[in-house]
Structure 1
């Protein structure tokens, strides 16, 4: 059964240059579009819980229970993303990513009929298993279809998928809840994504060589880079990832990124409702600015880094870590009821996050590793990033429960400790990036020494 997932064998090379160009252009356009829309809907399937928290609490769920659900899914994503990253280096991506969306959509559709905590906990973990089949395989596909020099740009383009999904969730899901209740927020998008999964399968692609096309590096004339890629096997390249200390340093930064990113996306709506006195639709509308500006930041992240910071990706990441820090401090301390300032701060946070997500979320690690181990690099980063995401759900849920105050039968929550937790995670993430400023320099020196020894 598992052989069905493996990449197809190489077909005889097509020598008609015009046909090769036409096939490459068509495959790239269709695959990237399908991945942006499809992976964007992955996020709709995972973020409904964040928007529906308040009505679910009003119906009997506790913050700790909701935190446990979120944490269970994040642990499943963390483990699954690592495994799927290593597996994806050997597989036909066209068969992995749509299947994950299909499974997540079915789970959400079923949850549209449930009120039981244990059912939600079990199925939300299953949802996490399917969610782990998205990101790392998509990046593997990008690395297969775009050369090393193009990857930063198209990684940024693809990363708007996160924000397409988040924006649709914050705004669309909030409107569905108001109109039809929180159960419909799981069921209706779930049914829609079942259909979308089959459309995604139609337009995604296996690696170029399986269609008789040259590799992306060869197609773009980067022959030297392709020769370097062919010097190691996939297994050897994956071991290089595991042994690289900078990859693990970036993975530690990814833990902090997971904490800050998912603290805002999972708890931001209820924070604005409880701490800032906003209604659900207003809070959801303000939170939708984060993915919108995040999408802009991700789209231009490669261009910003290449043109302004001269491809010094670590410098780019540190600068926008400070931007992200300014945004989250503003979100936490904006005066209650000031919707304009809250919206500005969320937008600043989202833009900084959008840029950083491309680099800490995988590109810095991928840039330090061979193309054949793209999935492995993404898997290691994803394992700890979603570990951080799981940690924040547990911590935020417990902190919110412990900060509950009941006066005359009215329940309110204090967020002082929670906001310190959020801000501290961004500070630590930024500090962990600093040593990677020397990563490429050390890598170049090691390559030079290896070449000299061989000579």
Structure 2
């Protein structure tokens, strides 16, 4: 057992030359970044496959909307707790091995999901998938903090966050096409294969840290210790200090409510479009995939723009994108059926704004206020709040759909989405309010002047 735990500890530092080969360093850094980002996109395929098969399960009377809500919520609850625990562990871990184990478990769960329609069994194994999924995000953020300096954090965090939207787009195009062509069980099969492909990417191309490859650490601040300095705080003490920061809790609430609106679309959007606006599964999935495609643009540009043009100040941008998200969600829900291009436009702006919010509220703004060495803990705190909100929203959504269901004389079902739509939009709007309170809190606590920090963008010898 001890040897197993030791296998997941951060890789030890290897001795390197006095003058490191910076070309090799940059090559390793890009390999790590790209393999980590692409594999995390495939984490998402293994997470969202269930959403694409929902309409088929209901159409074949295999499961009810309320049962689907319970099964879906199991992933969110397990993911929320796991993201907190595994986020704290990731600060100390070999992130390469940590991610590999999580993606392997997630792929195996997808392989099992097509074997039964028993609600209890599906809830248990989909909950296991939630825990496996939580082993992806923390290691990614810790890896970013190990390989990149503060000045680059927003830019590369934004580029990495593209993986969220890329995974969504892959799911709602590739998995949906397989489900329509061969059946819902084969959708899980494709997700399994894509998860195993991600596992191979991590194994062959990702490195744990610069130190494990013979390079000195990337220093965030150039400091010269002097006699009498107090010992540097431990990672654990930094994590505890983070829990006492009210700004983190406000940000967590904003992200919690934002995730209700997010999963309203990516978890129930296909179901909503089929039953409220008479789209078929493929056309509905194609519309939802627009959010993933344009989410890539919103996510990729948000960190870069905030770093380059706003000097890392992201609060105003987060509120602006939050309002855009609320308006586009409202248009998606309340525009009558028969207006394809309006629905597509709503999904375009929803994707752009959600991509930016996933970058800002979903982690980057938390790492901005976290001490160095506590990036995983910051993501864990945001994660447990975000997915607790997503889980609660999943259950409430299933119940509200069930409550608004009418069985017609021919045996078909009609759904009333009015109350549900109001719930989704209100959650999105209150998220913007929490973001404003977060910004106000930081403004009140900001000192009159801040000392300038010296930063280096490449490893330097201690």
Residues 82 and 378 in structure 1, CA contact (< 8 A), matched pair in contact too: yes
- Check conservation: 2:45, 2:195, Cα contact below 8 A: no
Q: Match of 1:114, SS? A: coil
| Equivalent residue runs for 1:109-128 within 5 Å | 109-128=111-130
SS at match of 2:414: strand
**Over aligned residues, Cα RMSD in angstroms?**
2.1
Q: In the TM superposition, what whole-angstrom CA distance separates every residue of 1:316-335 from its partner, at most 9, and x where no partner exists?
A: 10011011111101101122
| Aligned ranges 1:66-215 → 2 under 5 Å | 66-215=68-217
- Cα distance, 1:448 vs structure 2: 7.4
| SS, match of residue 371 in structure 1 | coil
Partner of residue 327, structure 1: 328
Structure 1 match to 2:286: 285
**Map of 2:439 onto structure 1:** 437
Give the match for residue 364 of structure 1.
365
Unaligned runs of 5+ residues in structure 2 are 452-462
The range that moved more, 432-441 or 284-293, is: 432-441
1:363-383 C-alpha deviation (Å, 9 max, x unpaired): 111100112000000000001
SS at match of 1:134: helix
Which residue pairs with 1:452 in the alignment? none
Alpha-carbon offset, residue 124 of structure 1:
0.5
The residue number in structure 2 matching 1:223 is: 222
Q: 2: distance between equivalents of 1:148 and 1:188?
A: 38
Between the aligned partners of 1:39 and 1:357, the Cα distance in structure 2 is 14
After TM superposition, which residue ranges in structure 1, 4 or more long, deviate above 6 angstroms? 225-228, 446-449
Q: Give the equivalent residue in structure 2 for 1:391.
A: 392
> 2 CA distance for matches of 1:141 and 1:370?
15
Matches of 2:225 and 2:70, distance apart in 1: 46
How far 1:226 sits from its partner (Å)?
A: 11
Partner of 1:426: 428
**1:346-365 equivalences in 2 (<5 Å):** 346-365=347-366
* Secondary structure, aligned partner of 1:405: strand
Report the 3-state secondary structure (helix = DSSP H, G, I; strand = E; otherwise coil) of the residue aligned with 2:15.
Answer: coil
User: How far off is 1:446 after superposition?
Assistant: 9.8
Rounded to whole Å, the distance in 2 between the matches of 1:226 and 1:437 is: 33
Looking at structure 2, the residues matched to 346 and 419 of structure 1 have their Cα atoms a distance apart, in angstroms, of 15
Number of residue-to-residue matches in the alignment: 444
Alpha carbons 2:72, 2:126 under 8 Å: kept: yes
Measured in 2, the distance between the counterparts of 1:134 and 1:226 equals 35
Inter-partner Cα distance in structure 2 for 1:61 and 1:212? 54
2:233 maps to what in 1?
232
Q: Which residue is equivalent to 2:456?
A: none
Q: Identify the structure with the greater helix proportion.
A: 1
Residue 8 (structure 1) aligned with residue 11 (structure 2): yes
> 1:224, 1:332 → 2: CA distance?
53
Instruction: Provide Cα deviations, 1:151-209, integer angstroms capped at 9, x if missing partner.
Output: 10000000010111100111111111111100110122203422431332221111212
Q: Does structure 2 retain, via aligned residues, the 8 Å contact 1:164–1:295? A: yes
Counterpart of 1:265? 266
For structure 1, which runs of at least 5 residues remain unmatched after alignment? 450-455
Secondary structure of the 2:150 match is: coil
Deviations 1:105-162 (A, max 9, x none): 0110122222322221111011111011011111110011000111100000000101
Partners of 1:48 and 1:157 lie apart in 2 by 24
| TM-score, length basis structure 2 | 0.92
